[in-house]
């Protein structure tokens, strides 16, 4: 089932204004000709005129948002469509960003390995249009557990994990995540993407330590080592309530909680003296 909605009075007003701009001039012109005893323009010409006015009205209108929610998808996907203003489109015609998330949480330790990455968010900006997709690939497992009160069926687990793995690998291959920039050692692009993401300073970087360039990791480790208190503010763990361990000390199989230290974005910003990034991340987390 697909459910759609228009967000707020502003969006309704914008859509109404566009439709009025596309239809009222044509209606006024045709009505005037009829009142003067002149022949009515061909219907095709009326439609063409309305289409041209519709395109012009859409281009000149301010930004507004419409969303469609796919409630039966596997995984569930919320899609948001934003009509961009002409000024925004001129400033930045195109932009793309992807976000990843760790698949395992405290409720899925028994079926999801801690190394599994899943897609979380996708942003595509085009002239006059932005498409946002919020992805929830683990929802089928959570829904099944809620209904049965036990483990999800093995077939559902296998298909969900396989799809999550395939989709996340495709996202990684596209190279549009902040993690892709960090893995390449491009810190400026890493911070740029991190500030656009929907997360905050508490969000971990979706990379194992081994995938982070050694020079960058060493600088962050040195920063954390200067003050033990920094560990609590600049790192997180994929599961709470247990002491963190190194990846090699735990199995990657489901059912074996792997409480691994995850470096947060703010750790990299602080280690490299990017106070501007640190302040924005802290503000977003409040």
pLDDT value of position 208: 82
> Which residue from 14, 19, 130 is spatially nearest to 83, judged by alpha carbons?
130
Q: Is the pLDDT of residue 232 over 60?
A: yes
Distance between CA atoms of 262 and 61, rounded to whole angstroms? 44
pLDDT in tens, 153-182: 888 889 889 999 999 999 988 999 999 999
What does the block give as tokens for 80?
A: 């948001």
Average pLDDT score over residue span 193-205: 76
Angle CA 72–78–83, to nearest 5: 140
Task: Please name the residue that has the structure tokens 């994929």.
Answer: 238
H or E segment at 55?
helix 43-60
Q: Locate 241 and state its tokens.
A: 């309530």
Burial of 98 (0-12, 13-18, 19+ CB in 10 A): buried
- Give the global pTM: 0.74
Average pLDDT in the 109-134 region? 88
Burial class (CB in 10 A: 0-12, 13-18, 19+), 282: middle
For residues 236-259, give the mean pLDDT: 52
pLDDT-derived band of residue 68, with 50, 70 and 90 as boundaries?
low
CA angle 127, 129, 134 (to 5 degrees): 135
Looking at residue 2, its pLDDT comes to 43
Question: What's the helix, strand, coil split of the chain in %, to 5?
Answer: 50, 20, 30
**Chain mean pLDDT for the chain:** 81
How many other CB atoms sit within 10 Å of the CB of residue 155? 8
Query: Which of the 8 DSSP states describes residue 118?
Result: E
Report the 10 Å Cβ neighbour count for 111.
22
Q: For residues 11 and 17, is the Cβ–Cβ distance under 8 A?
A: no
What pLDDT does 141 receive? 84
Q: Is the pLDDT of residue 96 over 90?
A: yes
């Amino acid at each position: 089932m697909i459910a759609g909605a228009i967000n707020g009075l502003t969006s309704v007003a914008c859509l109404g204004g566009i439709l009025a701009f596309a239809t009222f001039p044509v209606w006024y012109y045709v009505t005037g000709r009829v009142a003067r005893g002149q022949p009515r323009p061909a219907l095709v010409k009326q439609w063409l005129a309305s289409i041209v006015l519709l395109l012009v009205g859409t281009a000149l209108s301010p930004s507004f948002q419409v969303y469609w929610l796919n409630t039966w998808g596997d995984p569930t996907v919320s899609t948001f469509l934003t009509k961009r203003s002409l000024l925004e489109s001129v400033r930045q015609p195109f932009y793309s960003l992807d976000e990843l998330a760790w698949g395992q949480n405290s409720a899925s330790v028994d079926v999801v390995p801690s190394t599994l990455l899943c897609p979380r968010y996708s942003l595509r900006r085009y002239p006059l249009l932005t498409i946002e997709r919020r992805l929830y690939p683990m929802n089928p497992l959570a829904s099944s557990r809620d209904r049965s009160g036990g483990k999800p069926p093995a077939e559902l687990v296998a298909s969900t994990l396989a799809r999550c793995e395939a989709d996340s690998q495709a996202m990684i291959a596209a190279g549009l995540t902040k993690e892709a920039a960090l893995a390449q050692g491009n810190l400026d692009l890493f911070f740029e993407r991190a500030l656009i993401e929907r997360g905050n300073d508490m969000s971990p970087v979706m990379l194992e330590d081994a995938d982070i360039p050694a020079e960058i990791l060493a600088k962050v480790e040195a920063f954390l080592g200067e003050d033990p208190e920094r560990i609590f503010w600049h790192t997180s763990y994929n599961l709470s309530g247990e002491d963190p361990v190194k990846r090699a000390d735990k199995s990657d199989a489901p059912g074996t909680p792997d409480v691994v230290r995850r470096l947060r974005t703010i750790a990299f910003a602080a280690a490299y003296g990017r106070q501007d990034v640190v302040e924005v991340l802290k503000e977003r987390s409040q």
